[in-house]
Amino acid sequence: MYLFIVNTMSGNGKGMKVWKRIESMLQKRQVHYLVEFSASPTHTAELVRQTAKKHKIKVLAVVGGDGTVQSMIHSVIGRNIPLGIIPAGSGNDLARGLKIPLNPKEALHYLLTGGTGKIDIIQIGNQYCMTVVGIGIDAKVAQTVNRSRYKKWFNRLKLGHLAYVLSFIQVLTHYRPVKATIKVDGKEWTFPKTWLIAVANFPNYGGGMIICPGACYFDGEFHICIVDGLSRWELLRIFPAVYRGKHIYRSGVTLLKGKTIEVISDSPMPAHGDGEIMGETPMKIDILEKGLSVICHD
C-alpha cells in the first residue's frame, strides 16, 4: 500500500491543491493507497509512525516540500520503507536533485514507475536532513524566508525562488561575517571573515542555487563551499553566479571534500538543513552512507 502524507500548509496551501490533482489519477489507476493530512512536522512524523504499526507500507509518498520530507526521515530511517516525493513546496530542491518532475501528474508517474535506490543523508547529532547544511548568512536567509509574508505571494505566482533572493538582499545589509574554523576529516582550516559554509550532499538548495556543482548523494562524501573575505558588494556581485554554479571560480570561494565536518566560530553562526533551522555552531556534521531508500529512476 502507498501511504500519502499531504502537508496542507506546504507552499502556502499548494500541498492540498496538488493532492486534489493526483487523487483522481490514483483512483483511475486503481492504486491501493491511504492518505493522511498534516499541518506540522511533529504531526507528520507521528502519522507515519502510527500508520506503519497498522499497515504494511510499500512506499511513503510525501506531498510537500523539502521541510516536510526532512520531518519524516526519523520515522523511516532503519525501516524498509522507500520514500517518494510529489513536490509541493517553495524550493523543491530535493525533487530537483533526484530529477523528480515538478509537474504533479508527471511526478506521480515517476513515483509509481520508479525503482528503489539508497542515498546518503546528513546527520547532525540526532537530526537528519538530505540536501545541504548551510551555516552563516544563508541560514539567516532561510530563517527570514520562512518568517516572511511575501513568501506566500511568490509561491502563488510560482516564483518561490524569488523569496530567497529578496531575503538575501535584506539580510546582507546587516549580517556580519565571523572568524570560523572548519575541520574536515581531522584537517583544519581557519577563515577570518566567513560569510557562509555550505556542506552539500546534493548540488542545489535555496530554490535552485547550485552551491556545490560536484556534490553527489551516493558517493559517500560531502562537498563543502566556504565563502570568506569578501565585502558586501563583492558578495552581492557573485550571488547571481550561484544559480549557474559559476561562483566556485571566483576569489573568496574555497571548495573542500570530506566525510566528517566540524565547525566552530568566534560567535555562534546559525545553521539550516533543507531550509529548516537546525541550531548553531559549534556543530559536527556526519554523512550516513546509503542511509535512506528513495524512489528513483536510473
Per the CB < 8 A criterion, the answer to whether 266 and 178 are in contact is yes
Per the CB < 8 A criterion, the answer to whether 235 and 195 are in contact is yes
Q: What is the pLDDT of residue 76?
A: 83
d(CA 164, CA 96): 17
**Res. 41: pLDDT tops 70:** no
Tell me the one-letter amino acid at 164: Y
Q: How confident is the model at residue 142 (pLDDT cuts 50, 70, 90)?
A: confident
What domains does the chain contain, in order, with CATH numbers?
Answer: 2-113 (3.40.50.10330), 132-288 (2.60.200.40)
- What value does the CA radius of gyration of the chain take, rounded to a whole number of Å? 19
Tell me the one-letter amino acid at 172: L
d(CA 197, CA 190): 12
162-221 pLDDT per residue, tens: 677 788 888 899 999 999 999 999 999 999 999 999 999 999 988 889 999 999 999 999
pTM of the model: 0.90
Per the CB < 8 A criterion, the answer to whether 108 and 22 are in contact is yes
